Amino acid sequence: MSTILYPKFKLWFIDKDGKAIFGESLAELLEAIEVHRSVFKASRQLSTPSQKNV
């Protein structure tokens, strides 16, 4: 029996000071905005339960 392997990786961009400027969290937000067609709805979907009550 052979095992099938698939590549998986994370990619982020950093500025000259090493600060992340685009990573997984921003990608998730952009995908949610595309689905919901609303920044507000996308951010609510991605919020943790404790943040929704604030």
Burial 13-47 (b: 16+ CB within 10 A, else e): eeeeeeeeeeeeeeeeeeebbeeeeeeeebeeeee
Q: Parse the chain into domains and list their residue ranges.
A: 20-52
pLDDT at 23: 78
Q: What is the mean pLDDT of each run of 10 residues along the chain (54 residues)?
A: 88 87 84 92 76 44
Distance CA 33, CA 43 (A): 8
Would you state the structure tokens that stand for residue 2, as one six-digit string?
A: 């052979």
